[in-house]
Amino acid sequence: MVGKVALSLAFFVFFLGVFEAVAGIHNCNGSTFAGIELPDHLSFNAVSSSSSTGCRGSEPTRQAVLNEEEDERRDAPHKQTLKLHLKHNPLSKEKEPKKSVAEFTNKDLTRIQTLHTRIVEKKNQNTISRLNKEKEQSKKQIKSVVPPAAAPESSAGDLSGQLMATLGSGVTLGSGEYFMDVFVGTPPKHFSLILDTGSDLNWIQCVPCYDCFEQNGPHYDPKDSSSFRNISCHDRRCQLVSSPDPPRPCKAENQSCPYYYWYGDNSNTTGDFAIETFTVNLTTPSGKSEFRRVENVMFGCGHWNRGLFHGAAGLLGLGKGALSFSSQLQSLYGHSFSYCLVDRNSDTNVSSKLIFGEDKDLLSHPNLNFTSFVVGKENLVDTFYYLQIKAIVVGGEVLNIPEETWNLSPEGAGGTIIDSGTTLSYFAEPAYEIIKEAFVKKVRGYPLLEDFPILSPCYNVSGVEKIELPEFEIHFADGAVWNFPVENYFIPLEPEGIVCLAIMGTSRSSLSIIGNYQQQNFHIWYDIKKSRLGYAPMKCADV
């Protein structure tokens, strides 16, 4: 049943469409990242103390670095659990529903365009990937030359318990993103970062800020923190980020590692790659709150930053890549994280949750289902979480959508991803048209609104106390089924008394996306170790 609470649809855009720039081979004197122009006044900070290993011998490929990081983490203890609170702020009631719909769908479409760009770039990298595979033998030489990179550490030892922080809605800032409170540096200072599972790099706007967007509060100043350390361009961790183009020659022993991240919609960040201490609020099993420090977290100190980041200080990535916050915490909390987003009608004081590590309550849930991530294909984009759809069911009817519609092509087009950064669900043509026609055929008793812009179909349900609409299910190739409650795929527009299907179509690269609107009141578990997605219906306010 669709709730009667007035909604401002600007809230539905939970995360800005941001994606990791091209992941290529970067060495001290060159880069595969082409076509990017940097400001003429580009100048990077020098490291405060040299940790140079020297750029001698064969340079490590990005995959070699990732493989070695995985070897270091494999045997680490994973008993800890990190739990973050995602605060749900009051919704704005000022914007008209139709205007809000236009805004969040435009942002979604920009994000989809960025996805398409990433796919094309991934295709162009295939030649490089083949060359990397031919150099597998060089890995042993690399390991003998380059020492291991430091992994994040906790200064408090055992972190058993749950780590809690707040993540607030950006509605009051004219945005629908979730902001997570992060404490950075020594002494720790508070910053609000946008949370995004569709990107990897963590970054903050830094002093000196030569070209930055407006944010709430002061910029991060490395000089104010005794734990800040720039990563040298000689350090093998520098291979994990894309270099600016043209690249800066790596000469001086104390020369910092420059990075460039491009998000496809004219949003970008450029600065120094560094490590810092992040302070988190740990809630122990006894309920006691304690602050703990997590050291050696890799992040970008951005001096040139552009984009619609709506007052945030930067971004915290949860993608699959090695630089994401979730990947860096694997050595402490294991190879999994989960989140549970409260529904839009919940009390504004109720928090959504983000949890690093295994959650015992979720694992024991009787309705916990799993579907496998698509792995092992050459054209997968490293950052994204791919799923394999087999069929769509509307009102108990399996729709006549050819299975090949859902397949990933040899060129990297198509396929389906789950993404917390896209609001609605988007299905490739002609699948969307078939889904839409199925709802039009099966919905009875409510006037169809023919002239409503953007979303379709829309119905006038004014005065109806109990709204009855067809069921919607996604069937996966491995047999898993995801059943959605009606409030997860129909958007109510109050006070107009209108409901619209929260699904749209896209022909751009034929990519399909399960967005965050369909994920509300499900505990979503990203089990990286077993390459699977878990999902369980749950009242997220109680997690």
Cite the active site residues.
196, 419
- Taking alpha carbons only, the member of 380, 392, 375, 416 closest to residue 112 is 416
Cα–Cα distance for residue pair 408/414, rounded to 1 Å: 5
Tell me how far CA of residue 411 lies from CA of 121, 168, 380, 404, in angstroms: 11, 39, 10, 14
Residue type, 170: G
Backbone angles phi, psi at 57, to 5 degrees: 70, -155
Structure-token pair, residue 193: 């970062």
Are the C-beta atoms of 302 and 313 separated by less than 8 Å? no
Q: Which residues contact 269 (CB under 8 A, 6 or more apart)?
A: 201, 203, 259, 260, 261, 300, 302, 304, 305, 306, 307, 314, 315
Taking the C-alpha atoms of residue 10 and residue 450, their distance in angstroms, rounded to an integer, is: 23
**What is the chain's percent helix, strand, coil content, to nearest 5?**
20, 30, 50
User: Do you find a cis peptide bond into 430, omega within 30 degrees of 0?
Assistant: yes
C-alpha 515: how far from its chain's center? 11
Rounded to 5 degrees, φ, ψ at 229 are -140, 125
Q: What is the Cα–Cα distance from 175 to 1, expressed in whole angstroms? A: 27
User: 23-55 burial string, b = 16+ CB within 10 Å, else e?
Assistant: bbbbbbeebbbeebeeeeeeebbebeeebeeeb
